Amino acid sequence: MSADLSRRALIGGAGLAVLGACAGPSRLTSPFSVGAGPPALRVPRGACDSHIHIIDPRFPAVPGWKGEPVNDASVAAYRRFQARIGTQRVVVVTPSTYGADNRATLDALDQFGAGARGVIVIDSDAPPADPAGMTARGVRGIRVNFVSPQPWGKSDPRRLMATARIAAAQGWHIQIYARGPQIAEMEALLAALPVPLMIDHLGAVAPADGDGAGHAAILRLLANGRTWLKLSGAYISSVSGPDYHDLDGIAQSYVRAGPDRLVWGSDWPHRGQTGRLPDDAALLDLLGRWAPDAAVRDRILVDTPKRFYGFD
């Protein structure tokens, strides 16, 4: 094991020790989440929260940012959240707040240690200066956002392919945030990417479109052996509200189609949720409805993220 990996393992182990020491009942509340109890489901050892954002006041938002202000969704804040829901591994994704400035994500990876992996954002016309160094710090993918405008403009197929070529050179994957109709329109392109593909937030398929082109395209992509999907962000597409029953059929269809190609993510700290914040223990408990088989849930929470993100 290299000195760098040994250092990351030590940091990660120390962080988990702190969590174990402070995870009593009085510590089960956490920032940017309602509720105070743990999930009802058993959370297996090594479980991974495969989609969070770290937003740290030490790092300013990208110039021109018009969204929510930078707040204290720091590593320390997330560790309180992690103690509540019982996960031990995490995937940090650079949020739109920072554009292509990945300093907060990289700093978070250094703090979390060996139990963390990262997904960065880049301008495909300005590749990262030290991709090998980023890999050593835990970066495993690049996110391309087709929903929120980026500082350099809207994402398009040209930028996606240029980004995929950069990812391929590093052995990384591509993660996309796109709505169902966009995924349907890009299906052939997505299937031809030279790298593994991870789809965010249930494919952002609206409940009314559960039998539509976007949903069908995602099911075909899951069958191609090169596509994975995050069971995350239920509140993004749901119309019914916090029980999210209107997404059960869509989520269950993904579990049937690709039980070994799914991961779960909280989407903490839930940027863009202008109303009531979600109860993250309840979000994890959705897996009880979506994947009733405990062995399948263990694959979603432990085995698939371990394999996809390369956790030790």
- The one-character DSSP state at 147 is S
pLDDT band at 208 (very low <50, low <70, confident <90, very high): confident
Q: How confident is the model at residue 10 (pLDDT cuts 50, 70, 90)?
A: very low
d(CA 267, CA 50): 8
More confident residue, 12 or 232: 232
Structural domain boundaries enclosing 290: 3-309
What would the mean pLDDT of 30-48 be, rounded to a whole number? 93
In contact, 282 and 84? CB cutoff 8 Å = no
Distance CA 116, CA 163 (A): 23
Is the predicted pLDDT of residue 2 greater than 50, yes or no? Answer: no
pLDDT at 107: 99
Q: Are 55 and 68 in contact (CB under 8 A)?
A: no
The domain total for the chain is: 1
Confidence category of residue 245, pLDDT binned at 50, 70, 90: very high
Q: What is the CATH number of the domain that holds 223?
A: 3.20.20.140
The band of 77, judged by pLDDT with boundaries at 50, 70 and 90, is very high
Q: Hey, which residues does 145 pair with through a beta bridge?
A: 177
Residue 257: count of CB within 10 angstroms of its CB: 16
Q: What local confidence, expressed as pLDDT, does residue 28 receive?
A: 64
More confident: 82 or 68: 82
The whole-model pTM stands at 0.90
Q: Where are the alpha helices (DSSP H) in the chain?
A: 3-22, 75-85, 103-112, 131-137, 157-170, 180-185, 187-191, 213-222, 234-237, 248-257, 280-290, 294-298, 304-309
Comparing 7-11, 45-49, 244-248, 271-275, which segment has the lowest mean pLDDT? 7-11
